[in-house]
Structure 1
């Protein structure tokens, strides 16, 4: 996916403080609902209510259908009246040990003051190293995964991880609140 897919349903777009952050605000009220089942609609309502009360909530948007993810993110931003911090995980992940954690820590600290919905695009990238620990360079990958969820659990708001790979879902399914499945 790309930021351009998401920019179309928000009337304001700004580059963030780093190359991996984009701020989307002023969601356009759309008339087309994303194709999700009723149970997922209820999960989104619960997540929206928790976000309004500043309770940490972690969702996964699972699937490959970008258009439906775009529409649902727009609806969440519209109903919660919160801007979206779009995080390009391809750029967030750093090849140096602990750099990704430093980036994430700064991001979450800023998000706490801005009251953003955190949207991690292509979040599979964050977890791909954890499933393939082959050498000393990657032996800290599972610690990175633990740190990511520890830090997101401290964020008093809504965090959404967009993933498309089933192995990633299996790695993180016990650390998230709900999975919203898209075609």
Structure 2
């Protein structure tokens, strides 16, 4: 069946982490509200300093995807609109769910850094929980996220940062694994134990 096989649940957390793939091509099958909320309620168990829970979400599904699509295309330059508007619109409207993940920005740098890390952990939790349930996700950080028009059209408020858009759906194509650099090649060990 090749790369369109159904996702098979991993036996362990380690296997799940290694087996997850970024999915960019989705089937048209809808994703239920119940499943999406279940995944988000798993994701919010991400570690976060002081239990600040510095996140919120905006979900586009069904005909709401048109609002998201129009906001993205509205951020394009005139040349980009000519070249890409039609194909991008078709692509975005074919993805079952667009989920904007937002960081509520703290003006204190240390807390901002901690909160940014927490939201990234939340996104990884979401991706892993989705994979376990047979869903694919791609985490996008495209330039349109910084466009004031996109922010206004999607309801991103002052003092908020978009950490990413998650495109979510049942995979049509699952890409093969890409190798990772072994940790031992990136690890510096400092051992000052003088008894050695």
Larger Rg belongs to: 2
TM-score by length of 2: 0.26
TM-score by length of 1: 0.28
Bigger RCO (CA 8 Å, 6+ sep): 2
